[in-house]
Structure 1
Amino acid sequence: MTTITIADDSPFGLDNLPYGVFSTPGSARRVGVRVGDVVVDLARALDDEVFARPSLNEFMAQGYDRWVAVRERIRDLLHGEVDDDVVHPIGEVTMHLPIEVADYVDFYASEQHATNLGRLFRPDSEPLLPNWKHLPVGYHGRAGTVVVSGTDIMRPCGQRKSPDEDVPSFGESRRLDIEAELGFVVGTGSALGTSVSCGDFARHVFGAVLVNDWSARDIQAWEYVPLGPFLGKSFATSISPWVVPMPALQTARTETPRQEPRPLPYLREEQAWGLDIELVVEWNGQEVSRPPYRDMYWSPAQMLAHLTANGASSRTGDLFASGTISGAEKHQRGAFIELTWGGREPIEINGEERTFLRDGDEVTISATAPGPGEARIGFGEVRGRIVAATNTAG
């Protein structure tokens, strides 16, 4: 029997208990929970076959009351000894995509990010378009290209046209970027023709993950008028392997910034689902940014309410992300296009001036949130390395 030791400063204590899908050499994928520096095999520990599945979807579909009951059962179990064969050191497991992604929607919920990009893309106009403070702007992404942290990211190809070119050309992106985001996983969906209110958010959303929505800015700039993001976004989106359950983030709840004008009734919250989460972005091992999620204008509850306001259904495994998280200060910007102001203000990375991503570059995004007392709630990390394009011929 084993008693799991958790360091006092561990971001993976009993107040967190994030879920993930893991495997050990020669074994099938199954659901585990992280505690300190180990992964607990839930199928064996709880003698429950729902956790012997290669994704969290079947468990999530069982609903809110079941999530609460299992969380309490895990906490009770881990206060005592557990069988040796259910505990695996984190360094000896392989982590996999934790969910089967049903649909993927990406929002644009940071006022600072939207303002910065408005100034860069539309320098002669108001940075925020008239609708931005009335609704959470978003677009539908591609569920099939959501990948788990550690997956290499192939440099995308597409049409691009720089201002000094008369006609577009096809080739690899020359302005490859990141977007540091927070994503939310729908556990129980809603039927076609219905909507999810802000107040019902916690009963529908299972947990949160870190997201890097890789972005080809040159492809994006040429294609996005008039219908918005497409190939410049759809080639890859990375998520962290650990899904932090929403109850673990109760201490992190905070108000959103003042919303003016007042949102329409379906977007009003009795208690806002703002979250005090701090992200850290590292470029080739060097910290370059600390985006604060607490500054996000629109909350995830408002995002889900808007996503379903027209009667669109939601499903177990749906992923919706916040859009780039950026604060008011330069060191809080969550995309390199902002940090380098469109490439005109390079930053120094390991002694070299850089703007956008080169082949071989690696980006790591991590995050923590306040937990009970002095505890911190950890999300782990989402990491990706850029590899050369292979479809450059066009």
Structure 2
Amino acid sequence: MTYSNVADYRLAARRFLPAFAFAYLEGGAENELTLRRNRAALEALAFEPRVLRDVSTLDTCTTLAGHAAAWPAVVGPTGINGLFRRRAEEALARAARAAGLPFALSTASTSLLEDVRAITDGDLWLQLYVQQDRRIAQNLMARARAAQFSTLMLTVDTPVLGQRDDYARTGFAMPVRWTPRLLWDLSTHPRWLAAVGVYGQPRLVNLSRSARLAAGIDDPMGTRTHRMDQTLNWRDIAWLRQHWHGKILLKGVQSVSDARGAFEHDVDGVVLSNHGGRQLDGARSPLDLLAQTVSEAPRRAEVYVDGGIRRGSDIAKAVALGARGVLLGRAPLYGLAAAGQAGATDVLAMLHKELQTCMRLLGCTELADLTPGLLAMHGVAAREAAATI
């Protein structure tokens, strides 16, 4: 089958996946206001291209957290990807390496971080959740250091899981609860059963291994060890520095004031993110915070953004507002679910090609040419950008 864009892969993923798995991939919190707001913020921005520019040569290269990247994007982090394909993280890491991008592995991954490192020499980041027993997080960091992961991304927007109504509607749970509805769902998706389901339910293997090694807890499903440490606070950045000597980014920053706090605590960067609309419903789009955050960031700090990236033009808009790069969550997962590693690779190639096309049509030949002046002031983000950058 031929796919022309990410939306085509999304439809194919929906056909392939059982309803519970697609709902986990696609859904947001509560009424999904934040989920829709992420896309609306991108769509509200219009371009004002410059013409009669020599765009015969083009350069999209950049550095992300100090490492070279072919274009301004990071693949992941996303959790429980084993619902979509076997050895999903290895497939995503290979696709990222082929695209010249870093891959961020989730704490809630279903492949061991050592196995992911074994199949790629690409740049790897670890996304970290801190559990109530902090020995687990400390062990995860030690293992990632030993496997030469370069960057730590601490997620800070998840003291508890957001209310996700689709879980109740579709019966999604870890571990799986066998119900007549779920059995019917599985029976009507034979291709998924043959490719994924026959191997059993995915396990949170990194949490399980670190719990066993660090805390003596045998928790193969990772359910008990995935309880978040609700005491985590700004003072714990110093604790993090004791166990991680590389770059540290905070993911899940949702206000300019918290971005300031992050910079004051000497982190290397922030990811403006509302968890893809999956945590607090009603939160602002990260894009609306981007320009002011960039204007207040120290020169050494990097600002990333995620939420609703589906086109190369979305990446161009984020970079024009000052982002160092974007995080790609659902888009490569659509490709992975629909066609395995080849699908994820194709999605990334599509996004890069679209970014290049967009830049040429804007009259830009390098990322530095992407500025707020190329954006029409149809949205708050563009107005703020024009005033602050």
Q: When the two structures are superposed, what TM-score results if normalisation uses the length of structure 1?
A: 0.23
Higher relative contact order (CA 8 A, sep 6+): 2
Q: When the two structures are superposed, what TM-score results if normalisation uses the length of structure 2?
A: 0.23
Kindly indicate which of the two structures has a greater share of residues assigned to helix: 2
Kindly indicate which of the two structures has a greater share of residues assigned to strand: 1
